[in-house]
Amino acid sequence: MKSFLVKVAALLSLVFCSCETTKLTQVGFNSAIEHNSTGTTILHVDTDLNSIVLKGDIFLKEGSLYVELINSENDIVYSRTFENSGQHIISEKFNSGIGFWKLKYKSINGNGEIVLKMINQ
């Protein structure tokens, strides 16, 4: 009987632990930039007590790249077109709002690499 109770307890703890969800706190891009490529990622923010941080690097060899961050109220809070070849560092902080935040990029004949994250912290 004791062995049975130990097995049941182990099974119950496994079931309850496996049901625990992990909260997604960052999304972004880590990929090559190709001519006319685009990307969109969305982060759900469930509290307005935190900040949204936009952080990363863009390595542009040619062309240009447009980056845009849209807040939960659908306002563009960050937009920039990178036109010069080389490394571009992004480090911006915004007051968060509850809802869905969108991070987008669009290459205009661009070639290079994008490593950019939107972080809820």
Q: What's the pLDDT tens digit per position in 49-92?
A: 789 999 999 999 999 999 999 999 999 999 999 999 999 999 99
Helix (H) or strand (E) holding 58: strand 51-70
Q: Are 45 and 96 in contact (CB under 8 A)?
A: yes
Q: What is the tally of structural domains in the chain?
A: 1
Amino acid at 51: S
Residue 12 in domain: no
The per-residue pLDDT for 23 is 65
Residue 7 in domain: no
Residue 6: pLDDT band (50, 70, 90) is low
Residue 33 in domain: yes
Residue 4 in domain: no
Select from 57, 34, 41 the least CA-distant residue to 104: 41
Tens digit of each residue's pLDDT (9 = 90 or more) over 98-121: 999 999 999 999 999 999 999 988
pTM of the full structure = 0.79
Residue 115's Cα: distance from chain center in Å? 10
The per-residue pLDDT for 10 is 55
Q: CA-to-CA distance for 104 and 69, rounded, in angstroms?
A: 6
Residue 78 in domain: yes
Once rounded to an integer, what is the mean pLDDT over residues 34-50? 90
The per-residue pLDDT for 7 is 56
N- to C-terminal Cα separation, the chain: 48
The per-residue pLDDT for 106 is 97
Residue 16 in domain: no
Q: CA-to-CA distance for 13 and 77, rounded, in angstroms?
A: 44
Q: What percent of the chain has pLDDT over 70?
A: 80
Which position has the higher pLDDT, 44 or 25?
44
Residue range of the domain that includes 102: 22-120
> Which residues pair with residue 64 across a beta bridge?
108
Residue 104 in domain: yes
Residue 14 in domain: no
**CATH number of the domain bearing residue 113:** 2.60.120.260
